[in-house]
Structure 1
Amino acid sequence: MAELTIDEKFEQELKQADIDHHTPTAGAMTGHILSNLVIQASKLQQAAWYVKGPERFSLVPKFTELLAQSQQLSSELGHLLLDEGEVPPSTTADYQKYSMLEESGKNKYFTATAIVDATVHDYDTENLFIDRAIKLAEKEERPALAAFLVKLRGINNHNIRDLQFYLGNDARTGLDEEDDDDD
């Protein structure tokens, strides 16, 4: 049998991605996580460049640290997906399609507090996908993928706590439904 052309291979990839995203698999859900990490890196770069006010001197190093962390984790996750026989998202169009984080040029004009709060909510959004991917990886008996995702969940939880404490909040303030209830 003749080897597939580049166009045929890419067409197969697109068909499989469509199938995997309609009946979610651990690999497909992890593709969303990878895309979130890449978009998050862009948002963290923007935050480090544009955060203003007296908080700038403490926040620029933190955003720079989180940016490096996000880039490292996305690289590790991409390699892990390849190890698992998956085809990770790898283009800007893919990242935009699969990410649930929203970018905006307007964010550069946010106050420091609003930038930190938005970052907290981005990590919390990422955790929704991580939790689902962990369950799928466990169900599909993919222990290496599940272990990485559990580690990523812990990293995100730590980042949420750090940023929430900066805002004077407890770790889950404003993130859980019960926080929105008036008792």
Structure 2
Amino acid sequence: FKLLYPSDISLDAKRKMIDAVWQGDNSVRSRVQENESMEKASEGLKKLIEDLGIPGVKLEVTKRKTAKDDSELDATAYQMVLSVAPTGGVSEIGRADETDEDGQQYEGVTFVQLFSRTDGDERNFESPKVQEGIRNRIETQRLSQNQSKVEQALLKRAAIVPEDLFAK
């Protein structure tokens, strides 16, 4: 998601647009965190941009793409992915600066939404059910690691006693 606007617009207009992206329960970012699509969540911002009537404002809802590994992410997206919580979700808001072919300076804000690679695009990491599944997977993994550690420790302490030493 990226919102770009000419750098010479009024401070009040900038504040209104950034608040619509970031602040409050009805902002684009918080609606996306509640598992709404970016397109639907940004409809209110589009309306605000039309109402403000500022020429040159660009709102980009980029297409979803799957990154196989870090090498497929550009530097800014990579930094934003690092700011996503380990369980997934939506990144912090980042700064976006661009210059077009005519030399017009644009500034704005951007953020990325991260999806699970294993369960497909529709996974909502904030859902208690998903959190429980992740916790269960981690607990199972730790239990099996602990079990193998205990078995190894017991084998180290075990002594091999010849059978003829046992009383019959």
Normalized against structure 2, the TM-score is what?
A: 0.25
Normalized against structure 1, the TM-score is what?
A: 0.24
Structure exhibiting the larger radius of gyration computed from Cα positions: 2
